[in-house]
Structure 1
Amino acid sequence: MKSRLILAALLAVTFAATSTTSVAQTEVRQSWKRGIENQRKADLGDGTFLNPVLAGDHPDPSVLKDGDDYYMTLSSFDAYPGLPIWHSRDLVNWQPVGHGISRNVGSIWAPDLVKYQGRYYIYFPARRGEGTERSNFVVWADDINGPWSEPINLGLSRYIDPGHAVGEDGKRYLFLSGGDYVQLADDGLSVVGEPRHVYDGWHYPESWDVEAYAQEGPKITRHGDWFYMTTAVGGTAGPPTGHMVITARSRSIHGPWQNAPNNPITRTRSASEPWWSRGHATLVEGTDGRWWMMYHGYENGFWTLGRQALLDPVEWTDDGWFVAKGGDLGKPLKKPSGSTVEHGMPLSDDFSGGKLGPQWAFYSPAPDEYDRLQFGDGVLTLQGKGSAPRDSSPLQVIAGDTGYQFEVQMDIEPGAQGGALLFYSDRLYVGVGSNGEDFIMHRYGEERPTTLAPSSKGGRLWIRVRNDRHIVTFHTSRDGKTWSKYPVQMEVSGYHHNVAGKFLALKPSIYAAGNGKVQFRQFRYRALD
């Protein structure tokens, strides 16, 4: 209880950086194109695009160029199915393909998606609890659409952020956090020997405000006669000026590695910029021969949305290095060439598909979590679990808009409790729940009242959640027509990693707790203008 009170006190602190919106931000907001459900869309339709290319919580992007196609996977942390895979033809417009993993092996960080001799591999670290149990894994598939193998444990418990490479000797390697690397077996499914240290990194001036040194996320690119190791340092969150992109090169995969004279390649230099904590880049060549970096960053004032996928043009210099050309990414940039796919996916769901839609993921599911689900006649029936959102493994979607609302209809069986939430983690969430008759308020990851007795009747209920740039209001209805405003409103700009840790995002969610079942119908999402 004491820790939750401390967390609530932290949330009450007003951060100047998150409480104001600059004129520049307003101008950017007004220039967005709108796509499915009024969601923000990067492609402006005039040959230019405006970052982010994938809005919302899409951190640590790893991009694979596969002929004229691009595929990307990202960190999925505690969400399962995990390792989401996206497809693009122009690096700006993206469509979901599927997921690389369904079985919970822990919180998944910084993956690397590669193709080797016709087979696809995703290398990734995962950790359980507070990181006391962790390892690195690989999944593979002969088709990007799957099926994907079961995760194979590679060991390497001291490391995160594996990056795959093929050396000049034809052997396969994994580069790891801290500047170490290890050889892989020829099939890529086990390691050979022990990791060795090969790179000490590039060190920024002590006067810079960063989170920590945190040398991680090595991505290896072969260009010309050189191998380039592009790495993140400065910490992922913390001060907006912390995270950055650096690079080094070597003639041999085994080093020595020479730091670029223009490091850092990219860094947020001021909290007034539109994107904070920019880093963790993958280099990728466009189909027109232009080069790009895909990395992540926090939107100014919106840590709550998580780290969003950003695209930055780069140019190669005459001496064989590369420079970033996108500035602070606050203005439209010339699009890469290539055909387009329809961007994004609907978050709304009428539950008529007979299975869990691609927009949904459980938070920290148990091995038998999917057994809780039943579908039929436009209804998602979810068996209750636990007593509150924190232990009920809510179903979540990723919101990429600074303002949005969603609503859902629920039929709550006797003994069950159902609700609609903005869920960050099992320690931090806000929402409204009901046993079918009475309400319970979820604030700061606590329940008010602390318990809600099971109802012997249950009931039908509609809940609407509106998050208008951190101001959250709730409405409820008994018939889906006449709505009543819930008497408590919330301000949620502090629901993010720098307060609660875990590198997550605040996500629209639904949950079912208790001993009964909750039937969900017509989940509807729409971004606000």
Structure 2
Amino acid sequence: MPVSRRDFLSLSTGAATGLSLLPGLSVASASQPAWRRSAEGHRQADLGDGTYLNPVLAGDYPDPTILRDGDDYYMTHSSFDAAPGILIWHSKDLVNWQPVGPALEEPLGIVFAMDLVKHNGRYYIYIPFMKAPWSPPLASFANIMVIHADNIEGPWSEPVDLHLGGVIDPGHIVDEKGQRWLFTSGIKRIRLADDGLSTIGELEQVYDGWQYPDDWITEAYALEGPKLFRRGDYFYLVSAVGGTAGPATGHMVIVARSKTIDGPWENCPHNPIVRTESEDEKWWSRGHATMLEGPQGKWYMVYHGYENGFRTLGRQTLVEPMGWDDDNWPVALGGDLSLPLPKPEGEALPHGFTHSDNFTSSSLGTRWTFFGAAASEKSRVTYTPDGLKLKAAGSSPTDSAPLVQTIGDQAYEISVIVNLEAGTEAGLLLFYNNRLYLGMGQSESGMVTYRGGKSSYWREPAPQTRRLHMKIRNDRHIVTFYYSEDGKNWTRHTVRSETSGYNVNTIDDLQGLKPALFACGKGSATFSQFTYRGLK
């Protein structure tokens, strides 16, 4: 049902006015929203009363690309340095998501801003790869490849090089003649062969974007993230401008349309469709959207944003209801996403996965991934009756390719038991990237404290033992370390840290602060009884 221009104007003036137009939701019922909690205390979007509260995937799940496949929905995200990478998720209602598994087993570089599509019964993921370390110009280190599978669960093919350098953020579309195209940052396009595994012709510039007022505070213009779909008489081109981090008011969603894939592209009179307008809002830097028809023919946008005060968690996945005005232009209906919204209809699958791990079987690619892994990294892991045995690598956490996992709570506690071989240092970290982390490392000579991505001057008087219980508590950026020889009598580490600065605007890397296990030096370390507990 179209949303009138009058309704659109009222929606854009504030969350309470807009939300009151959504059936089943009153402002009073959502005045004090709170997330549901899993058995581990991990927050969940589905509130169990017919509403949901963003984020639908809490934690560092950026650049969502989502595919409707009948009554099923599949989604994946930028996995950057993670290996195995490209974790695919499955949902029936756009709110509750189950992991399917990783689509990319071996690392090929930094992976981000993909497009997951299905064409003629086959699944494709178009993937930009970047070499590390990044070094301009863009053409020297960015390239687009594609993997494909006949089943969403795999096996996925080896990456096929499309030889598209100097562009990122692919977006797939089939035109009115049945021909396949790939749009990229810029916004440029190139024809794809019928099998989608090679290109025809050259990249061509097709759209210059929508220009926001010069006095708006953004990171950069950065026209990127094209996602295309066809509805009625029009092809719609959804893209992002304003930069993905930087100021809270930067990132935004814009829309253009054309009756043919060849253009010309007409900008939406409501642009930007989505934008954080104030630092007071719950979600910052909202953008990089995919629009799709959800259950019962209702439309939604899926995009990412930073949580106000918690950039350390990375860019989280958000779902916003949308509608169509009388002129067939899209309209955002979710306000600033700070309040519960009516949940889409559909089966609620069990959401997420447990973060605790007794290491009886592998969960590489879902619960754990390597950061900055080499091709042979998985061979470092062995599952034994005593736990996960991790062969040491490098000389410190910086070059050790630690095991990390994504979490999405503002406060949590993690713990693990570490058993060392001679010549090994191993421990428990909160890891942003190989330049910024903090935590504890234990060796035969005692404990090393890490802060700010390097070993600290502080020498903690922990016991010189090869077996040690370690615990880290992150209570809304206040991080405290603990250690124990028996797991019952804990000693609080002398030094506490404040970690709100462990974010993209400090280190210029789009990551999130994650629990991590590392082993460096010689020999191996065995980890057992990893536990996670979300704190309210």
Specify the alignment match of 1:303 in structure 2.
311
> Residues 358-437 of structure 1 correspond to what in structure 2 (within 5 A)?
358-437=366-445
Aligned Cα root-mean-square deviation (Å): 1.7
Say whether the 8 Å CA contact 2:218–2:242 is kept in structure 1.
yes
SS of residue paired to 1:156: strand
* CA offsets 1:60-84 (integer angstroms, 9 cap, x no match): 0011001110000100111111111
Correspondence for 1:509 among 516, 531, 534:
516
Counterpart residue type for residue 170 of structure 1: G
* CA offsets 1:34-79 (integer angstroms, 9 cap, x no match): 1241100100111100000110000000110011100001001111
* CA spacing shift, 1:207–1:432, aligned 2, 3 Å: same
Correspondence for 2:101 among 69, 78, 98:
98
Say whether the 8 Å CA contact 1:415–1:515 is kept in structure 2.
yes
Structure 2 runs not aligned, ≥5 long: 1-26, 136-140
How far apart, in 1, do the equivalents of 2:366 and 2:114 lie?
A: 19
Counterpart residue type for residue 512 of structure 1: A
Structure-2-length-normalised TM-score? 0.91
* CA offsets 1:150-175 (integer angstroms, 9 cap, x no match): 11111211101000110111111100
SS of residue paired to 1:63: strand
Say whether the 8 Å CA contact 2:423–2:444 is kept in structure 1.
no
How far apart, in 1, do the equivalents of 2:362 and 2:514 lie?
A: 23
How far apart, in 1, do the equivalents of 2:63 and 2:364 lie?
A: 25
How far apart, in 1, do the equivalents of 2:363 and 2:331 lie?
A: 45
Counterpart residue type for residue 515 of structure 1: K
Counterpart residue type for residue 220 of structure 1: L
Specify the alignment match of 1:19 in structure 2.
none
Specify the alignment match of 2:497 in structure 1.
490
Say whether the 8 Å CA contact 1:415–1:458 is kept in structure 2.
no
Structure 1 position 357, deviation (Å) = 6.5
Specify the alignment match of 1:524 in structure 2.
531
Specify the alignment match of 1:479 in structure 2.
486
> Residues 3-402 of structure 1 correspond to what in structure 2 (within 5 A)?
31-132=34-135, 133-354=141-362, 356=364, 358-402=366-410
Structure 1 position 501, deviation (Å) = 1.2
Structure-1-length-normalised TM-score? 0.92
Counterpart residue type for residue 517 of structure 2: I
Counterpart residue type for residue 206 of structure 2: V
Say whether the 8 Å CA contact 1:122–1:139 is kept in structure 2.
yes
- Count residues with an aligned counterpart: 501
Specify the alignment match of 2:7 in structure 1.
none
How far apart, in 2, do the equivalents of 1:106 and 1:49 lie?
A: 36
SS of residue paired to 1:288: helix
How far apart, in 2, do the equivalents of 1:219 and 1:161 lie?
A: 9
Structure 1 position 103, deviation (Å) = 1.5
How far apart, in 1, do the equivalents of 2:104 and 2:159 lie?
A: 7
Say whether the 8 Å CA contact 2:84–2:365 is kept in structure 1.
no
* CA spacing shift, 1:131–1:157, aligned 2, 3 Å: farther
Further displaced range: 350-359 or 374-383? 350-359
Structure 1 position 435, deviation (Å) = 0.5
* CA offsets 1:483-524 (integer angstroms, 9 cap, x no match): 100111100000010010120010011100011100000110
Counterpart residue type for residue 487 of structure 2: G
1:466 aligns with 2:469: no
How far apart, in 2, do the equivalents of 1:122 and 1:56 lie?
A: 22
Specify the alignment match of 1:12 in structure 2.
none
How far apart, in 1, do the equivalents of 2:324 and 2:399 lie?
A: 50
How far apart, in 1, do the equivalents of 2:189 and 2:134 lie?
A: 21
Structure 1 position 130, deviation (Å) = 3.7
* CA spacing shift, 1:105–1:29, aligned 2, 3 Å: farther
Say whether the 8 Å CA contact 1:250–1:256 is kept in structure 2.
yes
- Percent identity reads 53
SS of residue paired to 1:499: helix
Specify the alignment match of 2:9 in structure 1.
none
SS of residue paired to 2:165: coil
Say whether the 8 Å CA contact 1:64–1:72 is kept in structure 2.
yes
SS of residue paired to 2:383: strand
Structure 1 position 436, deviation (Å) = 4.0
* CA spacing shift, 1:328–1:448, aligned 2, 3 Å: same
Counterpart residue type for residue 353 of structure 1: S
Specify the alignment match of 2:6 in structure 1.
none
